[in-house]
Amino acid sequence: MTTYAFAAVLFTLGIAGMALLPNLLRKLLAMNVMQVAVIVFFVSLAFKDGATVPILGQGGDPQAAEFMNPLPHTLMLTAIVVSVSTTGLALGLLVRIRSRFETLNERQLLDKLR
């Protein structure tokens, strides 16, 4: 329950940051915080009491109760790298915006766009 609540705190902080911060770079960082919240949530769903990491040791017949659920781990593994790439693409857009409008402040941008 604590990890779920922690994920909820991070998610709320991220969304609030995206909506309220004026600087586009900070909005992007807030979006990353939100993505981390989703990752924390998924990985905590994979947890099982008394189970170990989903890597088979020496031999034996693996039982489902002995290992944590590998599926959320897989999904989050790709999600992390995709989030790195989307952050890179967003940074590229920010560089473009910065070089064209000379600001990353949302309000100044809106003024310059009208």
Partner 1 sequence: MGAPRHGGTRMRWLLGAAAFPALFLGLVLGMAELPEFGDPGSPASTHVSPRFIEDAAAETGAANMVTAVLADYRGYDTLGETAVIFAAGLGCLVILAAAGGRPNPPAPGMSHPFGSVILDTATRILVPVVLLFAVYVLIHGHISPGGGFQGGVLFGSGLIMMRLVWGPAHEGGTHRPDVTAFGPSLRGSLILACAGILGYAGIGLAAMAFGGEFLNYGTLPLGSDPAHVRELATLGIEAAVFLTVAGTVGVLFDTISIGMRESGVPLGSDRGPRE
Q: Residue numbers of the site for partner 1 (CB under 8 A)?
A: 1-5, 8-9, 11-12, 15-16, 19-20, 22-23, 25, 44-51, 53-57, 61-67, 69-74, 77-78, 80-82, 84-86, 88-89, 91-96, 98-99, 102-105, 107-108, 110-111
Closer of 11 and 39 to partner 1 (Cβ):
11
Which residue, 33 or 94, has its beta carbon nearer to partner 1? 94
| Start-to-end CA span in the chain (Å) | 48
Question: What's the min distance (Å) between Cβ of 45 and partner 1?
Answer: 5
CA atoms within 13 A on the CB side of 74: 6
Give the distance from CA 47 to its chain's centroid: 19
- Residue 113 CB, shortest distance to partner 1, in Å, is 10
**Assigned token pair, 21:** 């911060």
Two tokens, residue 94: 């920010």
Q: Are the CB atoms for 97 and 109 separated by under 8 Å?
A: yes
3 state SS of 23: strand
Report the residue number, 31 or 104, with the smaller CB distance to partner 1. Answer: 104
**Minimum distance, C-beta of residue 33 to partner 1, in the bound complex (Å):** 13
